[in-house]
Amino acid sequence: MSGHRGTGRRPALRWPGRRRRDPAVEPSVLNPRDLLGESLAGVLQRPARSALTALGTVLGVGTFVAILGLTATTSSQIDSRFNALTATEVNVDDVGIEQNEFVHLAFPKDADARIERLSGVEHAGVYWTVDTRGTDATVRSSPVGDAADGERAGIVAASPGVIEAAVPHMAQGRIYDEYAERTAQPVVVIGAGTARRLGITTLETRPALFIGDQPFTVVGIIDDVERKADLLLSVVVPRSTALKTWGEPQSGGAKMLISTKMGAARQVAHLAATALRPDHPEYFKSVPPPDPRTLRGNVTDDLQQLFLLLAAICLVIGAVGIANTTLVAVLERTGEIGLRRALGARGGHITAQFLAESGAMGALGGLIGTSLGTLTVVGVAIARDWTPVLHTSTVASAPVIGLVTGVVAGLYPAWRAARIQPAEALRR
């Protein structure tokens, strides 16, 4: 007490637990190199768990790359397919009844020859579905028998040019020719399925089938067609034979199928009506081929949206897996976190470490998924004899997507780790 007597000053008070900051002590710093090393150590400490955690990201990113790659690859194939078939096909409808109620069949007898004179036309023919209402149109392989023994197959009247334009693949025989068309021969061409149902296995015995009571000689069996697939399910007879047997088609029921060379379809569609009936071109309506780019866009957009949704679901599953594993790692490493905090690590350092670990698992999964997706695209293209198409932006962005997925998945676990107090952690 004597030391303070007469000075007039009171001793300085110090609050317990409160220390002055020593300007000589620098705050702890976690440089990027140490951060990378710590995160890799954390990932490699449990490799099996890390691999299973990254599997969801691998599947999501791999699906993403494979979908975009296969979509781009098939788009080019769709283009070529449309160019080879749809873009070389013209259909002409008989709309004469709309202009003149007395016109039941606007196509002239020599309609095929008139159209085939146009430049760029390969094959052309008139066809219609025979109206068999009120008649016995049961198709049988024997002249007698109950209607139940046969089948009600569609009967199509078609000139030879229709079958040629459909590009048929013959299992046996051949299609009927111009002579059969000109002389109204009782001959038919049928699909392989119809032949099997009727028990016709060979044409060497010159088999016949019966439509009602009318006999027809089977001259050809079609195995497949590239256009107008309904011919495979029909009994095809010459146009003149159908006119002789069943009469004219229903008003507006006749159509014409035209196959053209590449690039000539729209010009042929523009000239077809005038070539058929210069006096009444309004009796016909030409249907040019659709724009293949529009068709391709519709097909690929639907496929891309569907499968990208699947890829997004896989990424969400991968993100949940990374978040769950990272959160478990936080709980398991509570003591380690407390020790780091006691040695001077700040909350931001802990957050950065766990974000780096989750991001590393996401990036690793993204890289592996990108590789697997690329291999899938190349493998499918090689198996189908296609040219693989994979955009550089897709390959470059896929690992980034995996990295972002991992970082986003690790936000909550990293926040939980940063809130752990050193004293509480060291007690556990």
Note the pLDDT tens digit of each residue in 180-213. Answer: 999 999 999 999 888 888 888 899 988 999 888 8
| Angle in degrees, 0-180, between the axes of helices 47-84 and 392-409, rounded to the nearest 10 | 150
Tell me whether residue 85 is in a domain: no
Same domain, 324 and 273: no
Measure Cα distances from 161 to 176, 185, 242 in Å: 10, 16, 16
**What percentage of the chain has pLDDT greater than the value 70?**
78
Same domain, 268 and 127: yes
What is the extent of the structural domain holding 46?
30-80+294-427
How high does pLDDT run on average in the chain?
79
Tell me the β-bridge partners of 156. Answer: 129, 236
Taking 70 as the threshold, does the pLDDT of residue 11 lie above it? Answer: no
Which tokens hold the place of 323?
């978040």
Of residues 64 and 231, the one with the higher pLDDT is 231
Taking 50 as the threshold, does the pLDDT of residue 18 lie above it? Answer: no
Taking 50 as the threshold, does the pLDDT of residue 256 lie above it? Answer: yes
Domain boundary among 256, 279, 302: 279
Domain boundary among 279, 314, 343: 279
Note the pLDDT tens digit of each residue in 36-94. Answer: 776 677 667 777 777 777 777 787 788 788 877 887 777 666 655 555 666 788 999 99
Tell me whether residue 87 is in a domain: no
DSSP state string for 189-242: EEEHHHHHHHT---STT--EEEETTEEEEEEEEEEEESS-GGGGGEEEE-HHHH
Place of tokens 């702890």: 28
Tell me whether residue 366 is in a domain: yes
Tell me whether residue 11 is in a domain: no
Torsion of CA 294, 297, 300, 305, to 10 degrees: -130
Same domain, 118 and 259: yes
225: amino acid identity, one letter: V
Distance CA 236, CA 128 (A): 10
Domain boundary among 255, 279, 303: 279
Note the pLDDT tens digit of each residue in 106-158. Answer: 899 899 999 999 999 999 999 999 887 766 678 887 776 554 455 667 899 99
